[in-house]
Chains A and B, each alone.
Chain A
């Protein structure tokens, strides 16, 4: 598979990244090279292999439904760039 310029622009838009012309060019080449390398895997016959849902061979790691203490406002907001009256404050939300 090949990654087109449009693919890169699309993914960048989804990630809210603004790329320069040069970056778009550069990432298109790099992504093609990375995915081209990974494409080696396609040569393997995986018809009898279950899809891997997780890298660790574990399942059903569960906890009991018991309340643990939460943290307070101050702790919760300590690393927040902005907050007021115990709320986190975020800038204008764009819906596009």
Chain B
């Protein structure tokens, strides 16, 4: 009851005309920032951060969170329309979003992404409202061993549940892990795999460079070859009826979406894990529990809904350790944390007690931001779909420019542009050889976390490898990981067995 009273006070703050306007502004800006490959919520928040002095702290954080939220919605847009994930969190959205767009159902996919994001965001905000303070303790229970087990589980969901050739998936994961070790080692501080002494490699290979290379450039090369002039993308139209139909279709996906929301929220809440593994696991689980798993990856709407609910839920979840412990779960929340320090607010266990009006103003604004984001997103879908009707010759050049600018902008190093070109060619060749690209990209994102936590655990436990199994939380994750890995294998063997018996009869 106490919580409700506090939340009501919060709404009094967040529904003031100034704050409402700020939410609308932030969400719209975030949507476009998120939709651009190469720009993400980190850039958006970083650019706006210094401007926030002109408004009171509670309005400032509302603005930043609105951008953060908007970008999360927007991330799906380039994943679906162009097949280029704008952020690592949206990689899983490409699996089915891209095929849908190619079938001319881009509008439907975008609606599904928007609605799913809304559901994920709303469910997680409700969870946040109810359990923020007690759940902080769960985040603390996560040490290096648990982090490792969780990442391992994300990988196995992928290998076990992925439909592509399993051997090829594993090969790509290994390749991605090798790429993730490039740069300076955390534990010893020594540079690794820097190709002699190329300074550009000291900071490692960023997700963005690899994703833009293999998805952006690689995809363009592949498309140019496979369809010299004919547009690969069927021109899509969208009407009001499509919208109603879309929402009606979504109505059948409650199970997938609620699962994605809970999963996303809990995984997002763990410091360091974040939205990427959450989206991945949600996709994997949606697929394995589906009645028609074979339709995933070929344009199943549930394949869009699952990762989109999860990554939005996770973005709310990752606010939790930031506010309650002062530990940012992602680069964007680290910036938000920086902002709060700037305004003289100290995130941490005391924030909820000392600054209730700020905290609850923020939480209530997440509700309004969600409503604003879904409304604006759906209103803009015709515009996005219209962009796809451009002739391929034009679109192709435009995407190429976007890719290179997007790859150069964050670090401003030519080194990255050359890398993008290299990865582009590699991505094209890998596609021709039918290797899945997503495991490569995800291994690069999750690899550093996995390696770091693995080594920390071994150091702390005096090299005892069983530490991962002995701790209850990490043991559970390891068991689940093993299950995810073995289960499809058993299924596969059974099917294979049945087939080999059949001809003998």
A binds B: no
Chain A residues with a Cβ under 8 A of chain B = none
